[in-house]
Amino acid sequence: MTKNLYTPTIFTQKYGSLGENEASEYAKQVEESAFADANQHYELEPDGDGSSAVQLYARECSKLILEVLKKGHSVQEKGIAKSQVVSAVSETFFDISKGQRAFIEADEAKALLMPLKEPGNAYTELCFSNRSFGLGAAHVAGPILASIKNQLKKVDLSDFVAGRPEAEALDVMNIFSVALEGSHLTCLNLSDNALGEKGVRAFEKLLQSQTILEELYLMNDGISEEAARAVCELVPSTEKLRVLQFHNNMTGDEGAVAISEILRRCPLLEDFRCSSTRVGSEGGVALSEALGGCKNLKKLDLRDNMFSVEVGIKLSEALSKHEYLTEVYLSYLNLEDEGAITIANSIKEAAPLLGVLEMAGNDITAEAASSLAACIAAKKALTKLNLSENELKDEGAIQISKALEGHDQVKEIDMSVNSLRRVGARSLAQALVHKPDFKLLNVNGNFISDEGIDELRDIFKESPEKLGPLDENDPEGGDDDDRESGDDGDPVEITSHPFAEIQVPLMSIRVAVTAILLRKWIFVIHQGFDEE
């Protein structure tokens, strides 16, 4: 950044360059401002890998460097104070969300929003989250927002009417909506407001006036079937939409059908989240079919819905068309083996840049392990894999371990709660411990013996922080079928029997003995009845 401000470039030739020391000071200010914006963007997508935040950081740096050069020329010629230039460059983001949640009334709103009234301010982003606006505060904010709406690009109104009565909250929303009507926003966050259909329609003027919206967040908003239809109706322009998130709503099947209509109008969509939305098979199929047309999709999060094998199969058809996917979150969707297999086969042939794959809690057994392993083996960019809360057992863990052998970028593997024993856990540990970027193996909640736990700790003795906690492991857990093998997965030999060369699983012996005793017990009971 410093070099871009003082060395010859097409921009310094046009606007003039700065001295090296002066350029260094400005570069620090530019970097701090761009980083603050990027960090705030990253916090809005906690499950992301940070790539979009990095892109934002790069754009902001470039823009601010250009601003410094433009104003720096006037500094040299007119002697304007350097602090004025730095202030003009850095103050583009207005944020009142820090600190504890608080109610705001008219007097406090006047003081808080005073900087927005300063002539010539350069604010393009606003964050009013975590502050609950009452009707009086809204009447103060409305005219101020209306006066600067043409310069705004990003507005965060998440959680800004918390604790207010419904009637007051709706009036506040309407005031903000009218004030911002006609603005040209690229990002709008209305999350955490318990909107429902009434709340969505309270923002009608704002939503309908947006023509270049790129990001829309409606998380934890009570987006019911009716509210989803309202969103579909009131957001007419979605051609440029890249991010659409509906996490933690009560959307249901009919609501998902409405959302699928929005998806069909989003050719540039890169990030779609519809997790924890109570969507069942019908809605899941509708979403899957619509997602097939979103060819630019990079991140897909459908976790924690009431899907089915049928949805898994339909979703696999959509995933086969996506070559840009980098993150796929499909946990807790009732996919079972059939759904998991079809999805794994589709992803194997698509998504060469896949970095994150989550399919936890889907009742996946070792039957699907070979397909999962083949998919994983093909994804050389994989950094995070979560298959927790399934039934892959040792057989599945061994196949997954082999699939990970050539993956030097992998950082985190979660195989917790998979009925693993010593051999499966050991296989994973040995496959991962020496990878250069590896950070965490989670095999908690399994049935690993005490000796197996000691072995794991020995494998990770030079980097114990890479082995997750084992406090929920149960060495005595599992049913008899799980215990029919020894710690190393070998059948137990009965050496004292005349047929010692035959290897007999302990479970078979238990079943035989139980059957004999049961027959004898039934015979005795019948005999007693006959005597009576």
If you write DSSP's letter for every residue of 197-241 in order, what string do you get? Answer: HHHHHHTHHHHHT-SS--EEE-TTS---HHHHHHHHHH----TT-
pLDDT reading at 243 higher than 90: yes
pLDDT tens-digit series, residues 245-285: 999 999 999 999 999 999 999 999 999 999 999 999 999 99
Percentage of residues in the chain having pLDDT higher than 70: 82
Chain center to CA of 274: 10
**pLDDT for residue 67:** 77
Mean pLDDT of 27-42: 80
DSSP string, 290-302: HHTT-TT--EEE-
Chain center to CA of 22: 41
Provide the whole-model pTM.
0.76
Mean pLDDT of 114-134: 95
pLDDT reading at 45 higher than 90: no
What are the tokens at 35? 């980083």
**Residue 117: pLDDT band by 50, 70, 90 thresholds?**
very high
pLDDT reading at 222 higher than 50: yes
- Looking up tokens 């998440």 gives 158
- Closest to 126 measured CA to CA, from 183, 68, 59, 57: 183
Under 8 Å between Cβ of 427 and 456: no
What are the tokens at 511? 């079943």
What are the tokens at 165? 């009565």
Mean pLDDT of 487-491: 45
Query: Who has greater pLDDT, 88 or 252?
Result: 252
- Cα separation, 21 vs 27, whole angstroms: 10
**pLDDT for residue 233:** 96
pLDDT reading at 455 higher than 60: yes
Mean pLDDT of 461-465: 97
Using the Cα atoms of residue 385, residue 391, residue 393 and residue 399 in order, give the sign of their dihedral. Answer: negative
pLDDT reading at 397 higher than 80: yes
**Residue 49: pLDDT band by 50, 70, 90 thresholds?**
low
What are the tokens at 216? 């829309």
